Structure 1
Amino acid sequence: MTMSAKANGLELAYDSFGTPGDRPLLLIMGLGSQMIMWDEAFCELLAEQGHHVVRFDNRDVGLSTHLHEAGVPDLGAALAGDAQAPYLLADLALDTVGLLDALGWPAAHVVGVSMGGMIAQELTINHPDRVLSLTSIMSTPGKAGPPTPEASAALFSPPAPDRATAVERALAVWSVIGSPGYEPDHERIAKLSGLAYDRAYDPAGTTRQLVAILASGDRTERLAAVDKPTLVLHGEADPLIQVDGGKATAAAVPGARLITFPGMGHDLPRPLWERFVTEITRLTRG
């Protein structure tokens, strides 16, 4: 059941899996992606390992607050380094602090994927008392691991005019950035893309998130102060944030453990879920 929490002046939609009182685990999703992209079966696997799992919609996606009044930032200017950003990744990290407060969690194990990994990094840097451990998946501390030209073209594809086109484009995007070493689940991608469109289709919100990434700068130097148990997972075939992004994250955080996966792109292939859950659980139990 989807619930709503007041956090940092916003409303954040979330749901949970597992037993309250188990190890608190917060899942942070990536750019323009709603919490439903954390598959329910994956969340249940984590819950079975003694986690109380919460997934949520970041601001500007899904059923959380959309900052429509902020308008659409000039993406061209942002790409040129002259970003007028309505907010930064640090603000998205503050949203997660507000959510932790609403949940009554003094601190949590934090898992972020892609932009969610960037938010998780910001959270750990700026609010270390709220983080028990950090897992950064297919993410980067900043400039490392830039996208391939093909992945960039997929990322900047124009907004879809209707639901059918949105689903069609999602399938096209994932065919570019997904895992070449694993059979794509076209039916699942189409289903989730349609559900995401029905929940809230807001390309302007995704642009605001993207500009937040571009305007937030590199975290490498600040990550050197992180003293939390840290796990970095990354696909060796990721074209959107190439594997150097994961390597740079692990190199920046003292004592971080890096695991890379051949054939994995910028998604979470189902055949690897058990391995992801095993590694995350090893970290949270430690």
Structure 2
Amino acid sequence: MHRYVDVTPTTRLWTEEHGAPDAPPLLLVMGAQASGLGWPDPFVELLAARHRVIRYDHRDTGRSTWAFDEHPYPITALAEDAVAVLDAYGIERAHVVGLSLGGMLTQLLLADHPERLLSATVMGAGALSETPYEGGELPGIDPKVLELWGRPVPDDLTLEQELDRRVEHWRVLHGDLLPFDPAYARALEAAIIEHTGHHRVNTAHGRADSDGMLRTRQLAENTVPTLVTDAPAEPVFPPPHPRHLVQVIKGARLVEIPGMGHALPPEVWEPLTKAILEHTAS
């Protein structure tokens, strides 16, 4: 069941709920420029076997308001949107799972709204901390990803050309440890485009102000049970970035998801949901 949530006078978010309404709530927070449908339906249903799962479209994605040029906002506002979604559903505290930028927003929630979290799971993200990694210098983004992100995107792509571009994007983010299924990636993006109603390229989150996101002290004082996933094929925040997260988030623990990159292919659904459900149950 879906509903819309007004988070500002000019911004409305599309949200969707799965699972029993009296089950422990779990909020899924997607990455930059990604619709909530980036959480695959079968993955959501696996979590909904034990949770009241809510996923949503960030501003400027999916069916939520696209108005960044008229009403710009900082990245930190996206974390406040997550709180507004919980408020709209009458949820006092929830388990929160964030991927990529969603993993950074989850850290902001840990730091700024710990009273709203039952637990946190952080995936595919860098640490919002100035604390250096105790193991030395952290690696940067894979050059293949940087090259892909640096390509200019024409604004007149046909639907099929845009699907081609998105499949290539997922091929690079997928990593090289698991077989890549282009048909699966294409079907997922086709569903997201149908959900959105157009295939325009979204650049809002890349242009949003990212200042004011460091939470070094607050993460070092964290009291919320936190799980960090270690994805060995991760190309954006490659190992040992997950170990750095465990270092800077007090009490965090690490679990490896074999073969995982910066994506959610079917091969990782079972081990990932198992890790999340064991974490939320504990």
State TM-score, norm by structure 1: 0.87
Q: In percent, how many aligned pairs have the same letter?
A: 32
Q: Could you tell me which residue of structure 1 aligns to residue 219 of structure 2?
A: 223
User: What displacement does 1:68 show?
Assistant: 3.9
Query: Which structure 2 residues correspond to residues 23-172 of structure 1 after superposition, within 5 A?
Result: 23-48=24-49, 50-70=50-70, 86-142=72-128, 145-160=139-154, 161-172=157-168
Q: CA deviation at 1:159?
A: 2.7
- Deviation, 1:222, is 3.1
The alpha-carbon deviation at position 8 of structure 1 amounts to: 4.0
Write the mapping of 1:230-241 to structure 2, written as runs, cut at 5 A.
Answer: 230-241=226-237
The alpha-carbon deviation at position 92 of structure 1 amounts to 0.6
* Amino acid in the other structure paired with 1:264: M
**Deviation digits for residues 161-214 of structure 1, max 9, x if unmatched?**
2211111111111221213221222112111222333414443xx433124474
- Distance in 2, matches of 1:170 and 1:103, equals 32
8 Å contact from structure 2 (residues 108, 213) kept in 1: no
Go from structure 1 to structure 2 and tell me whether the alpha carbon gap of 1:236 and 1:59 turns closer, same or farther (over 3 Å shift). same
Give me the TM-score of the superposition, normalised by structure 2: 0.88
Contact 1:118–1:140 (CA under 8 A) maintained in structure 2 = yes
Shift of 1:122: 0.6
Measured in 2, the distance between the counterparts of 1:54 and 1:219 equals 26
Q: d(CA) in 1 for partners of 2:277 and 2:215?
A: 26
Structure 1: where are the runs of 5+ without partners?
A: 72-85
Pairwise CA RMSD: 2.0
Q: Give per-residue Cα distances to partners, 1:13-47, cap 9 Å, x unaligned.
A: 01111100101000000011111110111111011
Match of 2:227, as an amino acid?
Answer: L
One-letter amino acid of the structure 2 residue matched with residue 246 of structure 1: P
CA distance in 2 between partners of 1:218 and 1:170 (Å): 30
Q: Deviations over 1:138-171 (max 9, x none)?
A: 1112485531221112223333522111111111
1:197-235 Cα distance to aligned partner (Å, 9 max, x none) = 3414443xx433124474344334431122100000131
Deviations for 1:114-134, whole angstroms, at most 9, x for unmatched residues?
001111111121111111111
* 2:277 equivalent to 1:276: no
Moved more, 35-44 or 267-276: 267-276
- 1:250 equivalent to 2:246? Answer yes
Q: For this pair of structures, how many residues does the alignment match?
A: 269
In the aligned structure 1, how far is the partner of 2:22 from the partner of 2:278?
18
Q: Which amino acid aligns with 1:27?
A: L
Q: Cα–Cα, structure 1 residues 261 and 283, in superposed 2: closer, same or farther, change >3 Å?
A: closer
Greater helix share, 1 or 2?
1
**Residue 5 of structure 1 corresponds to which residue in structure 2?**
5
